[in-house]
Amino acid sequence: MLVKVNAKEFQFLRTLEVETYGDTFGAYISDDDLEDYYQTVLSPEQVQKDLENPESETYFVLDHDQEVCGFLKFNWGKAQTESVEMNNAFEIQRIYVKNEHHGKGYGKEMLLFALQEAQKRGFDWAWLGVWERNFKAQNFYKQFGFERFSEHHFITGETVDTDWLLRKHLKEDPQA
């Protein structure tokens, strides 16, 4: 089940974002660069600002006991993290699941929810960025019809990585 995060929950969300980002990328990024990222991109002020943006939404995914297992963030309009050469695009910016909940279907649940929201809101394209060395995520998105269309540099402090940009043309069936 997904529930929309409200602005008052920014501190809990930020803690979850720091935890899951560190779990996902901590082995590849220096502690100093991670700390820089936490103090800028994931600062409490920035997380709260993101939650208040009318062209961005964040959701918690809950298990059957109502425990938060991860989160999803998507953007449209000016809230998108970069300009892409697609008309009427919808960005799926973040899908993160806590380590202890990996493999339980929460990532799929969040992706399908995002695609359904994009369709319901009349967007033509969904897009996202994925680290070039995250083969598991790339294969996951490929199963849902995402294709690589570009790449960009993702900067975390002094660490510069390449993200592949993937897109999906939205049809009636978000899994098609």
Domain ranges of the chain: 2-169
pLDDT surpassing 80 at residue 172: no
Cβ within 8 Å of residue 70, ≥6 positions away: 16, 20, 60, 61, 95, 96, 97, 98, 101, 106, 107, 110
Average pLDDT over residues 143-149: 96
* Range of lowest pLDDT (15-19, 59-63, 113-117, 134-138): 134-138
Q: How do the residues of the chain divide into helix, strand and coil, expressed in percent and rounded to 5?
A: 40, 30, 30
Average pLDDT over residues 55-63: 98
**% of the chain beyond a pLDDT of 90:** 89
Rounded to whole angstroms, the Cα distance separating 81 from 163 reads 13
Average pLDDT over residues 66-73: 98
pLDDT surpassing 80 at residue 7: yes
Closest CA to 75 of 91, 53, 54: 91
Q: Give the model's pLDDT for residue 176.
A: 47
**% of the chain beyond a pLDDT of 70:** 97
Closest CA to 42 of 8, 10, 76, 90: 10
* Range of lowest pLDDT (95-109, 112-126, 162-176): 162-176
Q: Which residue has the tokens 């963030």?
A: 73
* Range of lowest pLDDT (55-59, 67-71, 153-157): 153-157
Structural tokens at position 98: 């806590």
The mean pLDDT of the chain is: 94
CATH T-level fold of 2-169 = Aminopeptidase (3.40.630)
User: Could you read off the pLDDT of 31-44 as tens digits, one per residue?
Assistant: 999 999 999 999 99
pLDDT interval class at 175 (50, 70, 90):
low
Between 79 and 86, name the one with better pLDDT. Answer: 79
Average pLDDT over residues 97-111: 97
Structural tokens at position 95: 């899908």
Closest CA to 124 of 71, 163, 85, 95: 85
E strand residue ranges, the chain: 2-4, 56-62, 68-76, 89-97, 125-131, 147-156, 159-169
Rounded to whole angstroms, the Cα distance separating 159 from 35 reads 12
